[in-house]
Chains A and B, each alone.
Chain A
Amino acid sequence: MDASDQRCTDPTVLDLWHPLVAVSEMATDNVERTLLLGFEIMYGTDRDGTRFAVRVDEPDEALPVLDRHGYLWTSLGAPPADVFTIPETAEPDRRTLNAASIKVATSAPRAIENFLDMGHFPYVHTDYLGVEPHTEVAEYRVEIENDELWARDCFFYQPMAAASAVGGQLSEYTYRVPHPYCVMLYKSSPTDPSRSDVIGLFVQAMTQDTIRAHNFLSVIDETSSDTVLRRFQQIIFSQDKPILENQFPTRLPLDPRVETPIRADRSAIVYRRWLTELGLAYAVIPAG
């Protein structure tokens, strides 16, 4: 694919770690290709088990790689020492897996913002994450803390909140955006309400207008098979997909006057402001 006109020059984005593939889906001794920020990337595992990634147009210069949260990450710039941490994944009885990596014709920030939005649950995820007439998004808190966006006290009535759910529940969500193109939510686990299931969307911006969305799951569920866990998340994500692909413009406008928010969009307002403060320019329409 020729994406040379999509090549990222934004240092904010170049310096980030970006997910490329679920490590469990990498074949040994096989090189695969993908697109990241408009650059063709080759990645794989050497015979001695070492992961590698290179830009196809600069095959002699190894890119930095990290194996974190079940994915292979790389950076095209000068990345921080590590990818954000997810302390919950250290709990021994937790199951962490990739539900699916799915390509979508949208921009990375549109996908993040959709993930943060509760208002669409009853209409797009009917009978799963919401159902009419339970459409109200109650007031919630949004803060920037330690360079991450957090939204707390998010409550929503959900008829089937997870693969393991039996009947409806008032779910409490906490959203965390630890990276401009990665988002997670924590919600009480139906099988152990004292702990949270963690669901993430780690977005690989292939270009400004196309992504590969890596659906991360880390759940407490002794009974459901991997197939069943994946199935639930794939259904939810595939319900969102046509909505994402029909948003116009594809790139996220950061000027607060361009798209009119409502009170329920508070996390989106803060997210856009945060991207502006980071000076991020790739896959967005920067404010005036």
Chain B
Amino acid sequence: MITLYDYDLSVNCYKQRLLMSLLDVDYESVPVDFFPGWEHKSEAFRKINPLGHIPVLVDGDYVLRDAHAILVYLAAKYDPSGRWYPTDDPELLGEVAQWMLFAEGTTNTASAARLHDNLGYEFDVDTLRAGAHRLFRVLDEHLWFREQEAGPDGPAWVAAAPHPTVADLAIFPDVMLSEEGGISRLDYPALRRWTDRVRRLDRFVLMPGIHPVSAERPGPGPMAAGRS
């Protein structure tokens, strides 16, 4: 049985819960009193992760820390389709790795701003927000081009594949919860369409602060749809 040292309000823990739900993998969640208990900084928890952060995944005797590394492990091990972490396609895999590193950036800017705004972390929030906007602009433009490549029938994902990869999941909650860090997504329409697509995946699960997308696909737009 897999054990996830988990905190409901953590984006990095949510990334694991989301992938395990999408892959239909059973696991046990062990809640960590991250806030206000700071349990992840306790001596006991540092025996599990000397860096004192979550998530940590334990699978049998195997212990792994760091959110994006855990996504790689889970997909490589538990996705028989080989799509979420496409090891047999070097070019696609390179792209996935590139966007996983990009996700370190969104986590350290957008999600850090959220920790500042929600929990009072003492960060330079203006710098974090500016950094997040810089990354969101790049991603929004990238996703717009991906939509053009994919055409009207093919949903566009972060990496150039007709299906999502772990790169989408690594970035998704940082973007989806950005407003909790004072980072508006108003100027990023392609980013908003992509978050809708992620939320429409089969077996998608929520985290507190992320609400379901409307069940129906939006119509072709206000001009064509008219008033009803």
Contact = CB atoms under 8 A, between A and B. Distances in A.
Contacts of A227: 31-33, 37, 39
A245 B179 contact: yes
Given A100-B36, A101-B36, A105-B117, A239 B209 contact: yes
A135 interface: no
Nearest to A228: B31
A30 to B, nearest CB: 14
Nearest to B207: A238
A242 B8 contact: no
A103 B36 contact: no
B208 A103 contact: no
A238 B209 contact: yes
A139 to B, nearest CB: 29
A52 B32 CA distance: 32
Nearest to B210: A242
A67 interface: no
Interface stretch (A164-172, A229-237, A268-276): A229-237
A143 interface: no
A103 B115 CA distance: 10
A235 B31 CA distance: 12
B117 A241 contact: no
A86 interface: no
Given A231-B8, A231-B31, A245-B180, A103 B211 contact: no
Interface in A80-103: 98, 100-103
Interface residues of B, number: 19
A100 B37 CA distance: 9
A234 B207 CA distance: 11
Interface in B11-68: 31-33, 35-37, 39
A25 interface: yes
Nearest to B177: A242
A226 interface: yes
Given A226-B37, A234-B8, A245-B180, A103 B32 contact: no
Nearest to B29: A231
Nearest to A231: B31
Nearest to B117: A103
A281 interface: no
Interface string A227-269: 1101100111111011001000000000000000000000000
Contact of B208 (A98, A212, A226, A234): A234
A22 interface: yes
A22 B37 CA distance: 12
A244 to B, nearest CB: 11
Nearest to A212: B120
A230 B34 CA distance: 10
Interface string B173-196: 000000110100000000000000
A230 B117 contact: no
Interface in B111-136: 117-120
B179 A234 contact: no
B35 A100 contact: yes
Contacts of B118: 102-104, 241
B213 interface: no
Interface in B153-180: 179-180
A100 B33 CA distance: 10
Contacts of A104: 118
Given A102-B118, A103-B120, A245-B180, A238 B9 contact: yes
A102 B209 CA distance: 13
Contacts of A98: 36
A233 B33 CA distance: 12
A234 B31 CA distance: 12
A230 B182 contact: no
B116 to A, nearest CB: 9
Interface string A8-40: 000000000000001001000000000000000
Contacts of B37: 226-227, 230
Given A102-B118, A227-B31, A227-B39, 17 more contacts: A101-B120, A103-B117, A103-B120, A104-B118, A105-B117, A105-B182, A124-B211, A212-B120, A226-B37, A230-B36, A231-B31, A234-B8, A234-B208, A236-B208, A238-B209, A241-B209, A242-B211
Interface of B: 8-9, 31-33, 35-37, 39, 117-120, 179-180, 182, 208-209, 211
16 contacts: A100-B36, A103-B119, A226-B33, A227-B32, A227-B39, A228-B31, A230-B33, A230-B37, A231-B31, A236-B208, A237-B208, A238-B208, A239-B209, A241-B118, A242-B179, A245-B179
Closest 9 A-B residue pairs measured CB to CB?
A: A238-B208, A227-B33, A235-B208, A239-B208, A231-B31, A227-B31, A238-B209, A235-B8, A25-B36
